Structure 1
Amino acid sequence: MNFFEQQDRARRNSGRLLILMVLAVLSLITLTSLALGVVWQLFGQSHSSLWLASDGAIGLLPSWRLVGVVSLAVIAVVLLGSVYKSLQLSRGGQAVAERLGGRLINLAPQSLEEQRLLNVVEEMALASGTPVPPVYVLDDAGINAFAAGLTPQDAVIGITRGAISLLSREELQGVIAHEFSHIFHGDMRLNTRLVAVLHGILLLGLIGGFLLRGSSRASSRSSRNNSAAAIIAVGGTLWLLGYAGTFFGSLIKAAVSRQREFLADASAVQFTRNPQGIAGALQKIGGNLYGSQLRAGHAAEFSHMYFAAGISRALDGMLATHPPLDERIRRVTPEWDGRYPHVASLSLVPADASADQRAVAQGWDQALAAGFSPASATAAIASIGEPSAAHLQQAHQLLDELHPALRQAAHHGSGAQALLYGLLLAPVAGLREQQMQLLQPLLNADLMSHLQALEQPLRQLPGNQRLTLLDLAMPALKQLGTEQAATLCAVMARLIRADGKVELLEWTLLRIVERNLAPSRRLSGHFHLLELADEVQVLLSFLARAGSILPEQAQAALAQAAVELPYTGLNLLPAAQCDLKALEAALKRLNQLQPLQKPRLLKAMARCIEHDGRIEVAEAELLRAVADLLDCPLPPLLNTTSAAQVG
């Protein structure tokens, strides 16, 4: 099952989850109404009605008025609890990581182990075509990790101190690949919704517990207080029903989570081409004194998000959010003998970071990449959400070839901002000086100093590494405050307009930065390609004109693209009707395509840029940038050498 099928399945699972949760709330309303009706009658209230059973016995039922009041109260409590938790988690994965006590390491790794982890995450991100996520370390001796967020733009990776200290580099790769699978396949958003809905149901139990504690103190002061006894009964009912609802909600959560873990394990093996990596990590969890347990106070709240079980439960079989370790291991390595290795305590394990102590001061290649074969675009689209070992190897190579000064700057706030400004500087000396003069009064001395130091390495930057550099800088940029981020985008916009025209590369850089620093809520994809024919025509006309000199060539490129679409007769639009403003409006609509419709559009884009038998670096960069704006993490196109190694 590919990336787009998984996205579609995640969307359908979200719908089923909503139905199950609605049924759970309706059940709570029914049970609460019946239970409170009995409590009301027992304490002398008159809000219940009599009914006569077949055997002549007289029973009690709550009146419709009571049912209505209770129903509204239960719905209000569940909704308010869910909305409150949703607002808490609206910052995405950062909110989850901070709630678990994580510490961000992207800007300042404090050890070789943390630097090794950062290198692995960066390689995985670049190989899969996604921005580098912020990485948080949790000070726990257990071996565990998680991916959290609402969208790939606000996703974070969290990992425990035990994992980075006890796992080898290939085992760490397996764990991180597993977490990236959750990002690709829409699991994070589903997991976050589960947290919010379950909190709403749990709130009933919390209110019941509060009433019990308050009424117990009141009744101890006045043993004849009948109202206190009634409050105790109401509180006990709410407590019992609230936690019963949470129990059944947890059953739903566990059932959904277990299946997603098997998929993520398989994806990790496919990504790294090394089943021993993730299998070794799972085996070390079994042999570790602390297992995969987390000590954070809120660990249970996010139990379904972890790489392995983060908490232990009394009813672990029924409520287990993860399959048994031995079952997961045997699925990826059937030959496993069933024995777990002995893992030394955390303090006795030396840091294994030698694999990352690589010298990157190599001879610098100042030439642009020669281009890509047409097949590389099709292969990249087929690898969306399922990057290969060749993509990982190419990402490793790109990082090694990146100028040390640029890579260092990408991990610091001022340096990352300076990189963005530097990428927008014109290659022509006179215009570049004009842009620097424009920046002088807008930037502080620290930023100007960084920009001047990076100017020469940026001028030598190969064309196929510009998006790589932007991906590396993203975690540092995400640490900017709201006002700083707005200033950054405003200055970028002024810099772009300095020469009186907007280049395609400049526009794509600004749009990618904007949507990562201020990610908007993703709209549910429900449009078919047939419904967005006008937007498709704008996008493909723009691509055809961007890669062709003559109108005849652009029309030929458009005809090639139409082969992949459910309609024919696409005509090349005039340049004025497919400019950057029209493209931006079209992409906003096209991002609402159904998941299974997006691969057809991407394949049409690939045919459009490959119609002349060759894909230039600028065309490949444009394809990846547009795919990013469509929420499709396109891996970098493989060069000829990497493609040959895969074959």
Structure 2
Amino acid sequence: MSNFFEHQDRAQSRTGWLVFLFVIGVLGVTVSITLLTAVFMPNAIPAAIVVSFLIIGIPFAFKLLTMSSSGALVAESLGGIRINPASQDVNERKILNVVEEMAIASGMPIPPVFILDEDCINAFAAGKTPQDAVIGVSRGALESLTRDELQGVMAHEFSHIFHGDMRINMRAIAAIFGLMAIGYVGYFILRSTMFGPRTRKTDGKAVAGIAIFGIGLIVIGCIGTFFGRLMQAAISRQREFLADASAVQYTRNPAGIGGALRKISAQASGIMHHAEASQFNHMLFSQGINTLFASHPPLAERIKRIEAIAGGVLPESSISKPTQDDPQSNDSRGKTDGRMNPIAGNLVASFAAVGSVPARNLARVQAEYSVCDKSLISAAHDPNGALAIVLAMTLSQDQTKAAVQRKIIATKMPEIEMAVNHLEQTVRKLDTQERLAFVDVACATLVFGSADVYKIFRATLSESVRSDGSISLFEWVVMQILRMRVELPMAIRGGFVAPVHNANISQVAASARRALGVIAIFGSDDAEEAKIGFQSAMKIAGLEAANMPSKEECTLDLLAKDMDQLETLRPSAAGIFIKAALSCVAADQTTTDREYLLLRALSERLSIPLPPTQ
């Protein structure tokens, strides 16, 4: 359990080695430029030092700001094109299903998938947090790998997401870009002297001097490149072994990731040809460029370690040719004859699995997909269908109230009225976690949809759920999920600055007290048990003993405002707070839908990927 929170905390500060190499690189480049300037322009040495810092610092800051804002920018920098969630291409559908299943099984938002027009077998994960992660995968990987092998590669990338590696990678991209900028400046100067306009009055010696100065900068740029490559090697190699082992843990299938690595080794097909690939080499599944310092461990060593986990040589089936079967009906997905009732599972076990893809969950999600109504899956991947699913999910069980809601939908969004009516009976057959899973899938579709259409939808949804003067717990939880998985990403793309997660529980004590009170009151019908659970939770949260809030204080609307404060908690503090909330749930030794829904909303707002109960 604590690993996820420790990794996320460490990702905010685990940059010591990165900073050391960056500083050494900056000093090396600056000293070299100073010496070069001393030869050509001795009087300009102070200016040269300042210019050196600016040439490195400005590109570094620019790259850090731009790349840190969105993982999608990394994918687009490599020529990636986002795969339409509704795509029916066999290979694209295969990767979308694999990523979707893993995200649902782990409780994290479903990351968009970008396809790179590269023949090699490679992939990456990019972003700052699990909430804004994206997956990139080469066309060669889609065409060459079986579903099991692709699942192994994706499990490897999900490990990078959960272990906080993406944040380090994004900072490294900026540092490497800054160090290599001197070489680009030298190239520009040299090119200008060779191809720039000239007149009879042009001083040939001056031009030659400038050209030599440009060549000198290019040579100095090699120093920056040297430290950039060294930086990539330093931060990547050991993390790849950890991600490989995690992939086996998540999938329980060493042959999957092992087969993918074997194919890369056999075909020597990890090398990418995009001009920007060198900047992102350290974050790829396998080494993407040929360089002096290997950014990844040798493929043979990675395969050897996976074989050790498997207990011997990997089975040959791991490198079989991919089939053209419909990915949704693949026999390897572990079909079952009936549905499971996951809400009866153990929330404590789910919390212990935070920051991973529980293999049991993954198998269950795959089984559920294989027997699920295909019209629901299709609707969740379609922009209008996704809107209709969320509205259908929030229709009241009371037919009189539902009739009022349908009328509101027909008035506000007549274009999806029929779809809502068609889906209503189907969604009523789903249990709580299945319904939320489809809301999650719908969010992944809506987040890249029209902002104007979404505003109309959001207003329609708000009016619909409050049409009877109140809001149910399930409806409220859906609102929280939409806020975090659709509205916040849309706002960030529009320039909104995301909340900073650096607070301790003591700094938001009042909000923490009320949130724990809501969970205690909603989770137990016995007042004494609720008080016991509340006091236990306060102690675990490290807060002073206090009276439990009254029922009048514990409304969902007030809790939503408290969550605005709680979502600023640093990852480790958020983990402690969720653990405290779980003690409320465990007080009466039972787990109800209400308790799960509250914990799901709380974990959503705290950016904690809480896996479904097992």
Q: Does the TM-score normalized on the shorter chain lie above 0.5?
A: yes
Q: Partner residue of 2:8?
A: 7
Does the C-alpha gap of structure 1 residues 224 and 77 become closer, same or farther in structure 2, counting only changes over 3 Å? Answer: closer
Higher mean C-alpha deviation, range 383-392 or range 573-582? 573-582
Of the candidates 341, 347, 350, which is equivalent to residue 377 of structure 1? 347
SS in 2 for 1:499: coil
Amino acid at match of 2:540: E
Of the candidates 157, 171, 175, which is equivalent to residue 197 of structure 1? 175
Higher mean C-alpha deviation, range 616-625 or range 77-86? 77-86
Of the candidates 145, 157, 164, which is equivalent to residue 186 of structure 1? 164
Does the C-alpha gap of structure 1 residues 466 and 71 become closer, same or farther in structure 2, counting only changes over 3 Å? Answer: farther
Amino acid at match of 2:369: L
Number of residues paired by the alignment? 601
- Structure 1 runs not aligned, ≥5 long: 42-46, 49-61, 639-647
Matched, 1:443 2:413: yes
Bigger fraction of residues in helix: 2
Of the candidates 245, 251, 273, which is equivalent to residue 266 of structure 1? 245
Matched, 1:280 2:256: no
Q: Partner residue of 2:509?
A: 533
Distance 1:77 1:510 in 2: 46
Q: Over residues 323-378 of structure 1, what are the superposed CA-to-partner deviations in whole Å (9 max), with x where a residue is unaligned?
A: 1001111122136669999979xxxx55353663269999998xx958425xx111
Q: Partner residue of 1:454?
A: 423
Of the candidates 186, 189, 196, which is equivalent to residue 208 of structure 1? 186
Give the drift of 1:261.
1.0
Distance 1:350 1:331 in 2: 24
Give me the identity figure in percent: 35
Of the candidates 522, 525, 528, which is equivalent to residue 552 of structure 1? 528
Query: Contact 1:116 / 1:353 at 8 angstroms: preserved in 2?
Result: no
Distance 1:265 1:357 in 2: 27
Query: Contact 1:219 / 1:229 at 8 angstroms: preserved in 2?
Result: no
Distance 1:505 1:71 in 2: 61
Does the C-alpha gap of structure 1 residues 552 and 25 become closer, same or farther in structure 2, counting only changes over 3 Å? Answer: same
Distance 2:351 2:342 in 1: 21
Of the candidates 351, 369, 387, which is equivalent to residue 323 of structure 2? 351
Higher mean C-alpha deviation, range 238-247 or range 124-133? 238-247
Of the candidates 121, 136, 157, which is equivalent to residue 143 of structure 1? 121
Give the drift of 1:409.
0.4
Of the candidates 433, 437, 445, which is equivalent to residue 476 of structure 1? 445
Does the C-alpha gap of structure 1 residues 250 and 590 become closer, same or farther in structure 2, counting only changes over 3 Å? Answer: farther
1:20-169 aligned at under 5 Å gives the runs: 20-41=21-42, 47=43, 62=45, 67=46, 69-86=47-64, 88-89=66-67, 92-169=70-147
Distance 1:34 1:534 in 2: 60
Query: Contact 1:168 / 1:352 at 8 angstroms: preserved in 2?
Result: no
Distance 2:318 2:546 in 1: 64
Give the drift of 1:106.
4.4
SS in 1 for 2:14: helix
Query: Contact 1:489 / 1:510 at 8 angstroms: preserved in 2?
Result: no
Q: Over residues 559-597 of structure 1, what are the superposed CA-to-partner deviations in whole Å (9 max), with x where a residue is unaligned?
A: 232353334514211344443344334333333334333
Does the C-alpha gap of structure 1 residues 212 and 617 become closer, same or farther in structure 2, counting only changes over 3 Å? Answer: same
Amino acid at match of 2:237: R
- Structure with higher Rg: it is 1
Query: Contact 2:516 / 2:581 at 8 angstroms: preserved in 1?
Result: yes
Q: Over residues 199-224 of structure 1, what are the superposed CA-to-partner deviations in whole Å (9 max), with x where a residue is unaligned?
A: 23322221221111112345976674
Distance 1:242 1:484 in 2: 49
Q: Partner residue of 1:634?
A: 610
- Structure 2 runs not aligned, ≥5 long: none
Query: Contact 2:511 / 2:562 at 8 angstroms: preserved in 1?
Result: yes
Distance 2:254 2:371 in 1: 28
TM-score, normalisation: structure 2: 0.89
Amino acid at match of 1:606: L
TM-score, normalisation: structure 1: 0.85
Amino acid at match of 1:432: A
SS in 2 for 1:323: coil
Of the candidates 515, 518, 528, which is equivalent to residue 484 of structure 2? 515
1:305-384 aligned at under 5 Å gives the runs: 305-313=283-291, 315=292, 318=293, 320-334=294-308, 351-353=323-325, 356-357=328-329, 369=341, 371-373=343-345, 376-384=346-354
Matched, 1:408 2:378: yes
Does the C-alpha gap of structure 1 residues 285 and 527 become closer, same or farther in structure 2, counting only changes over 3 Å? Answer: same
Query: Contact 1:82 / 1:196 at 8 angstroms: preserved in 2?
Result: yes
Give the drift of 1:98.
2.9
Q: Partner residue of 1:55?
A: none
Distance 1:306 1:178 in 2: 11
Distance 1:185 1:283 in 2: 25
Q: Partner residue of 1:228?
A: 207
Higher mean C-alpha deviation, range 177-186 or range 145-154? 145-154
Of the candidates 565, 570, 579, which is equivalent to residue 555 of structure 2? 579
Distance 2:520 2:53 in 1: 53
Amino acid at match of 1:332: I
Matched, 1:398 2:376: no
